[in-house]
Structure 1
Amino acid sequence: MNPRVLPLNPMVDIHHHLLSGLDDGARDFETSVEMARMAAAEGITHVVCTPHANGEYEFNPAINRQKRDELQAAINAANIPLTLGLGCDFHLSFDNIEAALKDHTPYSINGNGYLLVELPDFGLPKGLTQTYYELRLAHATPILTHPERNQTLQADPKRMEGWLRGGLLVQVTADSVLGKMGKRAELMAHKFLANRWVHFLATDAHSMRGRPPRIREAHEIVARKYGQSYADLICTANPTAVFNGQPLPEQEEPLNLYEDGETKSSWWSRLLGK
């Protein structure tokens, strides 16, 4: 039996529906506190609270900040070692895109430009490639959330290649790595990990039961299958840089992305927007 692989560094969760009363995440304040407690027990030290920004739920940055501050005070009082940031689960509606192109600050993680972009479960929005390009021109850095769960991409994952060549960042759900989001999502998550196409592992937690804030086991699987350094990169180093609004450290070279003759440096320049 393989020995248990433990994270060498504390982990940062950039996608977490921790705030209550805003969307389909935590049902009440008490659940938020329990989710925070579980996240800390998993080895997570920082969480980005990411309520949905879509047509179904009202997105109000002032209310979000107030709820984040109230929850931070409560978990501090409960001696839960967790620091909360703020972002959103950004849906690609016309109004959202127009607003973010003018000012991404209310939507991006801690206002620093990294923007979690969520696809629908079915299909892809028209003009998606152009939208990514325009967001980059507006000094936002899109992070595509859980593409392994989109059925269109499951059927045709090669669509990802052009976006990745253009520098798009990718977040995969920890539960997908564990097989808890369906077999196709699991297979696609591991294909992306094997190719080093994943830049972040996150919980996308919504509750204590159905979608809890678990990441430790997924980290262990990534460490065993793809290397401890890569597991730490996507669970600690990269999300820490995003939380603090810093450039990402140098990444592992992606595989099966370029034709012969194209180099790592060309990919790295695209990723940094150079």
Structure 2
Amino acid sequence: MKKNKKYGEPMMSIDLHSHILPGIDDGARDMETSLEMLKIAERDGIRHIVATPHFIKGEVENPAQVVLEKCEQLKQEINRENIKVDIYPGSEVYMTPEIPELLKEGRICTLNGSSYVLVELPMTAIPIYAAEVFYRIKLNGFEPILAHPERNREIAGNPNILFNFIQSGVLAQINAASLMGFYGSEVKNAAWTLLKHGMVHFAASDSHTCRGRAPRLSMPRSLVAEKMGEDTAQRLFELNGFAVLNNERIDFQEPSMVKKRKSFSIPILSKLFRKK
């Protein structure tokens, strides 16, 4: 296996999505919580974490410079505590029409300063301007990664929406806990459907705290390896993440559309109520 050129070894897990910076959003409330989350990650086998605090235009704006400063502060504490986890800057950007311009101006922190940017949709709907925003992001030289699409109600109900996004150049990151049913059966089913149809490029923790949404990937990774094969697990949890850190192209399979299931309810009902 090819060794990563700049950041670490390929077989060490990387978490591309976390809210681990202290006191900056709805994630770690203080430095103590951040350090405890890092220790949990270290015990779980995670060696690289990208800090992705929320960036919501007009509400919770964490500009690139602030994220970089917070990361440096956390790194100092990591060294002091001798925690064997590397931290990288990033952000999770809420879908708004202004994203392409904000990226171009350097106000949004991309993933480790690469061309990759993590973008979040609303949970209940897809804005009518989403496809246009993704197009303009790419036009400006950036690579959009859609965060936890399995948690979006429209995509969960119609996975081919994500298929169309991917065909236009959007990548997708699912929350590893979705595969375990943490967010409920509907989200779990959506996550596995997307994965089985080649619509997932990364799995991450989206960690927010020490309990519940903690930075753990080992169990979901084992489950993916068991059901989808070790090669798929490596791509989702390690190799593609390292490609992002090094601003390299990722390796991924061509997605396939989800065939709509035929409904048998009407024929069955007609038979039940048919006069004899």
Instruction: Give the TM-score, by structure 1 length.
Output: 0.86
CA contact (8 A) 2:146 2:172 kept: yes
Q: In 2, distance between residues paired with 1:132 and 1:44?
A: 30
Pair 1:133–1:13, CA change in 2 (3 A) = same
Confirm whether residue 244 of structure 1 aligns to residue 246 of structure 2: yes
- Superposed counterparts of 1:12-23, under 5 Å: 12-23=14-25
The answer to whether residue 59 in structure 2 is matched with residue 56 in structure 1 is: yes
Tell me the distance in 1 between the aligned counterparts of 2:217 and 2:153: 23
Kindly provide the amino acid, as one letter, of the partner of residue 179 in structure 2. V
**1:105–1:113 contact (8 Å) kept in structure 2:** no
Between the two proteins, the alignment pairs up a number of residues equal to: 249
CA spacing shift, 1:181–1:104, aligned 2, 3 Å: farther
Letter in 1 for 2:221: H
CA-CA distance at 1:125 after TM superposition: 1.3
In structure 2, the CA distance between the partners of 1:124 and 1:66, relative to structure 1 (3 Å rule), is same
Tell me which of 124, 135, 138 is aligned to 1:136. 138
Separation in structure 2 between the aligned mates of residue 251 and residue 231 of structure 1, nearest angstrom: 12
Any idea what the Cα deviations from partners look like across 1:141-196, whole Å, max 9, x if unmatched?
Answer: 00000000011211222211211112210000011011001111100100111112
d(CA) in 1 for partners of 2:90, 2:222 = 27
Structure 2 equivalent of residue 126 of structure 1: 128
Q: Which amino acid aligns with 1:89?
A: E
Cα distance in 2 for residues equivalent to 1:143 and 1:154: 17
**What is the alpha-carbon distance in structure 2 between the residues aligned to residue 97 and residue 134 of structure 1?**
6
Identity fraction in percent: 35
Partner of 2:272: none
Distance 1:167 1:67 in 2: 31
Residues 171, 201 of structure 1: 8 Å contact kept: yes
- What letter matches 1:99 in structure 2? L
Q: Is the 8 A contact 1:20 1:29 kept in 2?
A: yes
Change (3 A) 1:137 1:58: closer
For residues 78 and 187 of structure 2, the distance between their equivalents in structure 1, rounded to whole angstroms, comes to 33
* Amino acid aligned to 1:106: I
Shift of 1:255: 3.2
Indicate the structure (1 or 2) with the bigger Cα radius of gyration: 2
CA distance 1:257–1:245, change in 2 (3 Å): farther
Unpaired segments ≥5 residues, structure 2 = 1-9, 260-276
Letter in 2 for 1:224: E
Deviations 1:26-74 (A, max 9, x none): 0110000010111111111111100100133231322221211111111
Residues 180 and 257 of structure 1: CA distance in aligned 2, closer, same or farther (over 3 Å): closer
The separation in 1 between residues aligned to 2:116 and 2:46, in whole angstroms, is 20
- Residues 104, 113 of structure 1: 8 Å contact kept: no
